[in-house]
Amino acid sequence: MKKIFSMALMLLAGLAATTSCSEDRESNPTVMKPTAFVLNTPAMTDQYIELSQKNSVHLTWSQPDYGYNAYATYKVQVGLVQADGSIKWNEDNGAPKYLETPYYKCNVNINAEEIAMAINAIDGVTKEDDYVDMGYRGIAMRVASSIRNSVNEEIPGSTIISNHVVFKNMKAYCAVKSPAALWIIGNCSGWSEPSAGNAAALADWRIFETEIGSNVFEGVITMPAGNLQFRFYSALTGWDGGASVGPTYTDPDDPDGDDKDMACEFTEGVYSGTCDVPSKDKWNFTGFAGGDVKLTVDLNQNKVKFELQ
């Protein structure tokens, strides 16, 4: 009886081991290097396409065969057709530079602004003053497919590049990504309303991001003598547009912090404090002597630092 029982346990153990290996193969499939990846030619490749912030370009492609039903990540690369028919692809120090938005299906609308930004980059346009309208040109696109692991790292050997298609007549526009700005609104700038109509008048009253997307702003501004009062605005959407940045109001005798003056002073040439968003309170430096001030605003930590130069 014991012998029969032992045999039964061995059979069950073998079955469990077989099942475990089978499940392991299904949850950890072997990624095959696909040999074909086809980007379909859109019907509109011969048409005249003028890119704008409001339109998009439709692309479809086949899913590469990874040996199982893979969840692939797709990225689009843009190129400019040269006079000899070759293609100058958008690259960063020799490495492919793809559009910012990744895709996870094979039937997508590509953001036209991202395409225009890529064309600008190929043309060497880094700021608005560099832009020249080049009219309609041949613009190529291709797609890279890859498999990524649970921490979004690309699995080595899984990347495959599609064929390219050419839109024969595509026109870009100036779509240069620039550092964001904070406008200084106060008696120094004449208390001009932070509105689009006053953009030109307020052009010199801005500080800019240290890097695109950093959310840290810095600049040196020449401030007039007198009682210096100001706050910041992150957009020219009017007084009540919600874009105001002001000091954290801390007067216990006057807790209502709506459009209040925060009494401030420089200590050894430096003022450090915190800010609130939105806030219509304002920093107030009484009897300011006038001169250059380096303004630093960190909207990640809601901290400010003003330094006399």
Average pLDDT over every residue of 248-276: 85
Instruction: Convert the pLDDT of each residue in 27-37 to its tens digit.
Output: 556 767 888 99
The pLDDT assigned to 152 comes to 78
- The pLDDT of residue 79 is 98
Say yes or no: 119 and 214 in one domain. no
The model's confidence at residue 127, banded by pLDDT at 50, 70 and 90, is confident
Determine the pLDDT at residue 240: 86
User: Has residue 21 been placed in a domain?
Assistant: no
Between CA 49 and CA 51, with CA 50 as vertex, the angle to 5 degrees is 110
Domain count, the chain: 2
180 vs 143: which has the higher pLDDT: 143
From 171, 200, 228, give the residue that closes a domain.
171
Q: What is the pLDDT of residue 3?
A: 42
By CB atoms closer than 10 A (0-12, 13-18, 19+), residue 73 is middle
Q: Is the peptide bond before 278 cis (omega within 30 degrees of 0)?
A: yes
pLDDT digits (tens, 9 = 90+) for 62-103: 999 898 888 899 999 999 999 999 999 999 999 999 999 999
pLDDT tops 70 at residue 8: no
Alpha carbon distance 234, 245 (integer Å): 7
State residue 201's pLDDT score. Answer: 95
Are 84 and 150 members of one domain? yes
Query: Does residue 118 form part of some domain?
Result: yes
pLDDT value of residue 91 = 97
Q: Output the pLDDT for position 288.
A: 97
- Mean pLDDT of all residues in 250-272: 83
Query: Is residue 188 located within the same domain as residue 293?
Result: yes
- Residue 270: give its domain's CATH number: 2.60.40.3620
Tokens for 68, please give them. Answer: 């199982």
Domain boundary residue among 150, 171, 192?
171
Segment 192-220 shows an average pLDDT of 94
Write down the H helix ranges in the chain.
2-27, 112-122
Q: In sequence order, which residues have a C-beta less than 8 Å from that of residue 231 and are 6 or more positions away?
A: 185, 186, 244, 245, 246, 247, 279, 280, 281, 282, 283
Kindly state whether residues 197 and 121 are assigned to the same domain. Answer: no
Task: Report d(CA 208, CA 178) in Å as an integer.
Answer: 9
Give the torsion sign (CA, 45, 48, 51, 54).
Answer: negative
Cβ-Cβ contacts under 8 Å for 198 (sequence gap 6 or more): 192, 236
Model confidence, pTM: 0.59
Query: Of 234, 235, 207, whose CA–CA distance to 223 is shortest?
Result: 207
Asked whether residue 98 is assigned to any structural domain, the reply reads yes
